[in-house]
Amino acid sequence: MNEFIKELEQSEVGVIKVNEPLSKHTTWKIGGPADVFIEPDGTDGLVKAMEIIIKHKIPWRAIGKGSNLLVDDDGIEGAVIKLGQSMASMEVEGEVVTAGGGYPFIPLATLISKQGLSGLEFAGGIPGTVGGAVFMNAGAHGSDMSRILIEARVLFPDGRLEWIKNKDMDFSYRTSRLQKEKGICVEAKLQMKRGNKELIVAEMQKNKQYRRETQPWMHPCAGSVFRNPLPEHAGALIEKAGLKGFQIGGAQISEMHGNFIVNKNNAQAQDVLDIIAHVKEKVRSNYGIEMKTEVELVRRQAT
């Protein structure tokens, strides 16, 4: 590991930190240390860092703003790559928006709407980054990334950097090809449609306001914890099971929205995992429905 760190530092790929607490980099404010934390200085830095990771056979994973992530209290083995500000470029050509994987999703949606471009109104209250949104096929209010993505520039674990067309992304509900192949979305081209600026801004603000009024973003959380077992909705099932406000340790099922678990008081990852297990058991026994998590659960031995 020491040789790996030394080579990273000598190659000047970006910011390198050792034993960096991931609670600083997740919206849940939960998570133990990463052995090595890398914030690449642009795409070239990312590609070079991946070359060094491959050379030293280091386990790794990528994060954006950490909004869909539950990191184990023991942290993450190997390297954590964060797509940050240096990978947050953005340009508009006609009705096509090209955004870096590290660009924050909500500010992008706000900026684009104010330019009279429609297509990102659904993203008005979705935390995270463009790269994470592509990875998860993020969506809300009847739309998602699969409907607007033209193509994504993806770094694969073998070091290949390729543009992947929408049709080859294998999009489905909260799922993409990148989850199966562990690809990092470095950049995305999004198809917008020019329209009435006032109406577009009003629609986006309405979606953002809906989230403020119905979701508990005043406490650290990670967004929706469970996937909706359609045609049912996870939050409604959890509420019907009488679990709103249920608490273990410092973690609590939100009293505002059943599909949110909030960090009320220095919650540990195990507190959240215990709540998830309890919800699964309760919903299964009450309604015969298997609940699946939407958040990514990252344990120490994961590679």
Q: What is the pLDDT of residues 185-198, one digit of tens each?
A: 999 999 999 999 99
CA pair distance 79, 89, nearest whole angstrom: 24
Catalytic residue among 187, 224, 254, 296: 224
Strand pairing class (90-93; 96-100) = antiparallel
Among 58-72, 206-220, 267-281, the range scoring the smallest mean pLDDT is 206-220
Question: How far apart, in Å, are the Cα atoms of 218 and each of 27, 128, 139, 262, 284?
Answer: 11, 16, 21, 9, 30
Name the CATH code of domain 2-85 (choices 3.30.43.10, 3.40.47.10, 3.40.50.12780, 3.40.1350.10): 3.30.43.10
Domain boundaries, the chain: 2-85, 88-214, 234-298
Residue 213 falls in the annotated catalytic set: no
pLDDT the model gives residue 32: 96
Annotation: CATH topology of 88-214? 3.30.465
Confirm if 259 and 239 have CB atoms less than 8 A apart: no
Catalytic residue among 174, 176, 177, 203: 174
pLDDT exceeds cutoff 60 at 251: yes
The packing angle between helices 42-56 and 2-11, to 10°, is 160
Confirm if 70 and 28 have CB atoms less than 8 A apart: yes
Residue 224 falls in the annotated catalytic set: yes
Residue 294 falls in the annotated catalytic set: yes
Long-range contacts of 23-27 (CB under 8 A, 24+ apart): 23/71, 25/63, 25/65, 25/66, 25/80, 25/82, 26/63, 26/66, 26/67, 26/69, 26/70, 26/71, 26/222, 27/65, 27/66, 27/67, 27/127, 27/220, 27/221, 27/222, 27/223
What are the tens digits of pLDDT across the range 136-150? 999 888 899 999 999
pLDDT the model gives residue 301: 60
Q: What is the CATH number of domain 234-298?
A: 3.90.78.10
